[in-house]
Chains A and B, each alone.
Chain A
């Protein structure tokens, strides 16, 4: 059985775990370096990226995790998780750290404040029916590197991207009952 680490410093980690377990994967809440042992992949949930970044540093998780990601561990980041994986954060805090494993630039709260949060259907490459996506104080992906595949867009903006074994959405596939993106992630780990 696959063992998926879900970064559980802050945010919607419980919803990710529930969805992954429903799909038959094992999950571990990752809060400290010792929780990294034996995981096949990592999920970084939505939440506050500044909070997660600080806690990742203070718990000593940041460096070992960064190393695992650099050496090719599959990962899936949603919203704040996408920010944590990005190579560059516009509008972040100067002391904010991210894993720089996905070649994208993101702007935090790119659509505005909570009042501008929204739901919409998005067409996803490889899925037959559209995915109903929830965007909450979502970031905007302002640049995608040459190796990055864009799997969904809202207007001009990429909202679902993949580079190698790492995928990221700016919306929240863990909210609601549609588990197709989590399925995609698990299939992809199986192939690597």
Chain B
């Protein structure tokens, strides 16, 4: 946190939990789109994205090309920042706090400590409390989500399996997280100790989930969303916003697909609107079966 005294004498504090979680609150109901250059960023903003994620290659290309995937070139991130007025996020490798420091100094609005990049640390995630910039982290289950929140994450996204265009893993992870939350709200106080042990998560956070029936931070969905119907599905399951990676710019008509996913995310429970926006979109991205993957990104994270 950084404290400053304004000319009027009132003190203003930056980098607080409220300010960091607050931006996640503002992104709810929206679509965050992966973009690899300023042209794509403009298309995303034109289509109604509430934020963009700047990265060098979309996940399906990372999967295809192999090799080590790292933080993007600062110059490319700066070009994207200059191209749009909506928030710009960027990815750092798991545990790579130096990349996160660079992203903070660049002035990105959110850092994604992401399993889509090659992990830099096989034991530790970044101590996110040490930063003024907020972090989003992926999770496949409630324990993982609460461990990331304990480390200072201000937004959780269910991981799904990025770059596959296959929604099955996103659904699995959402159901896993939200199902356990529902069970915990029914648990008695003695059972909460056992839940904390099983989830390998701090007891106070487990107790908070029990009391509030929700995660302490917003929960969005990522990994495999390729159509407006996919977005509607995960929103109905309980996601509060969606990240779309390869699904937009690997489709036949990115601008049309992007607009359709934005409208479907807002009107996720209105089938008439979903019919309208799903019609005539051209080809969605080609998808992959999970069983045939060489690397599952979702297994990265501890």
A interface residues with partner B (beta carbon < 8 Å) = 8-15, 31-32, 46-48, 50-51, 54-55, 58-59, 79-80, 91-93, 108-109, 112-122, 134-137, 153-155, 172, 175-176
B48: Cβ under 8 A from any A Cβ: yes
Asked whether B30 lies within 8 Å of A120 as measured between CB atoms, the reply is no
B12 adjacent to A119 (CB under 8 Å): yes
Query: Which 9 residue pairs are nearest across A and B when measured between Cβ atoms?
Result: A114-B109, A120-B12, A54-B48, A118-B12, A48-B50, A10-B29, A117-B19, A12-B25, A136-B22
In the complex, how many angstroms separate the beta carbon of B59 from the nearest chain A beta carbon?
23
A121 — which chain B residues lie within 8 A by C-beta? Answer: 10
Q: Given A47-B50, A108-B85, A117-B22, list of 8 further CB < 8 A pairs?
A: A13-B28, A46-B26, A48-B86, A59-B266, A79-B26, A109-B85, A114-B87, A172-B25
List the A side residues contacting B47 at CB < 8 Å: 54
* Contact present for B14 and A116 (CB under 8 Å): yes
Contacts of B266 in A (CB 8 A): 8-10, 31, 55, 59
Q: Measured between alpha carbons, how far is A52 from B270 in the docked complex, in Å?
A: 18
CA distance A116 to B16 in the complex (A): 11
The interface size bin for chain B is 35 or more
User: Cβ of A55: which chain B residues have Cβ within 8 Å of it?
Assistant: 48, 262-263, 266
- Interface centre among B4, B7, B134, B266, by most chain A C-beta atoms within 10 angstroms, is B266
Cβ contacts A to B, 14 pairs, < 8 Å: A11-B26, A11-B28, A11-B50, A47-B50, A48-B51, A51-B49, A54-B262, A55-B48, A80-B26, A134-B19, A135-B19, A136-B22, A137-B26, A172-B25
Inter-chain contact B26/A51, CB cutoff 8 Å: no
Q: Closest Cβ of chain A: how far from B39's Cβ, in Å?
A: 16
Are A91 and B14 CB-contacts (below 8 A) given A113-B107, A119-B19, A172-B22?
A: no
B48, B49, B109: the one within 8 Å of A113 (CB): B109
Verify if B18 is at the interface (C-beta below 8 Å from A): yes
Q: Which residues of B contact A175 (CB under 8 A)?
A: 18, 22, 25
What is the chain A residue whose CB lies nearest that of B110? A114
Chain A residue contacts of B109, Cβ below 8 A: 113-115, 137
Known A51-B49, A55-B262, A119-B19: A11·B29 in contact at CB below 8 Å? yes
Give chain A residues whose Cβ lies under 8 Å from the Cβ of B104: 115
B18 engages A12 (CB within 8 Å): no
Asked if A47 meets B85 with Cβ closer than 8 Å, knowing A54-B48, A55-B262, the reply is no
Chain A residues with Cβ under 8 A from B8's Cβ?
Answer: 153-155
Q: Which residue of A lies closest to B259 (CB)?
A: A58
Any A CB within 8 A of the CB of B23: yes
